[in-house]
Amino acid sequence: MSSFHEAFASATISGCYFRLCQSVLRKVNELGMKVDYESNDDLRIAVRCLAAMAHVPLADVSEAFDLLAESMPRHKKMDELLSYFEHTYIRGRRVRGREENYAPALFPTHTWNKFESAKKGIARTNNAVEGSHCGLQSLFMCNHPTMWTLFEGLKKDSCKQKTIHLQTTSGVEHHSSQKYREL
């Protein structure tokens, strides 16, 4: 991420809440907690609380994690799950020495925290970006288009986006599929 940040200094790096939840559940499975997670309501709620840390104000995340860790239900693998979350998302691994010094977390708190985004009405996930990428890939009909195919596809997509924009600004209604209208 540091190379990306150097190249695009003004860009804001923001993680996806869905991916954070996925990461926690993947670790639950990896630690062999899946059966207990599915059958024990207290454990399931506690694990979901880890991912919910993304909705705590940025300045309070570390303290909230410590409070949450103290209140976790007893489970033989809970300490491993908490260590994973702490080292990956909260404060990194402890550095040798007498003081409580920690290396940076693998994913710094500001990249996955969604508190401010939620206040501003910004999406918690990157579904829109993934949808756009899927649309482009279906437009090219291949994973690695040639330069010519890429340019032709981008021209088609640009025309499509302009049409949608003009229709939207002129008041033409876009009808979603029947399935979504009924929801």
Is residue 167 a contact partner of residue 173, using CB atoms and an 8 Å limit?
no
pLDDT of residue 27: 97
Show the tokens assigned to 129.
């970006």
Instruction: Give per-residue pLDDT as tens, 29-60.
Output: 999 999 999 999 999 999 999 999 999 999 99
CA distance 116 to 127: 19
The residue-averaged pLDDT of 104-122 equals 88
Instruction: Please tell me which residue, 181 or 10, carries the higher pLDDT value.
Output: 10
Instruction: Please tell me which residue, 93 or 69, carries the higher pLDDT value.
Output: 69
Q: How confident is the model at residue 180 (pLDDT cuts 50, 70, 90)?
A: low
CA distance 88 to 24: 10
Displacement of CA 37 from its chain's centroid (Å): 21
- φ/ψ of 99, rounded to 5, equals -80, 165
CA distance 154 to 170: 24
Q: Of the candidates 135, 88, 131, 116, which has an alpha carbon nearest to the alpha carbon of residue 14?
A: 116
Q: Of the candidates 44, 78, 51, which has an alpha carbon nearest to the alpha carbon of residue 65?
A: 51
Q: What is the mean pLDDT of the chain?
A: 87
The residue-averaged pLDDT of 20-34 equals 96
pTM exceeds 0.85 for this model:
no
CA distance 49 to 160: 42
Where do the domains of the chain lie?
Answer: 2-120, 126-180
Give the angle subtended at the CA of 113 by the CAs of 31 and 125, to the nearest 5°: 85
Instruction: Give per-residue pLDDT as tens, 133-146.
Output: 888 888 888 888 89
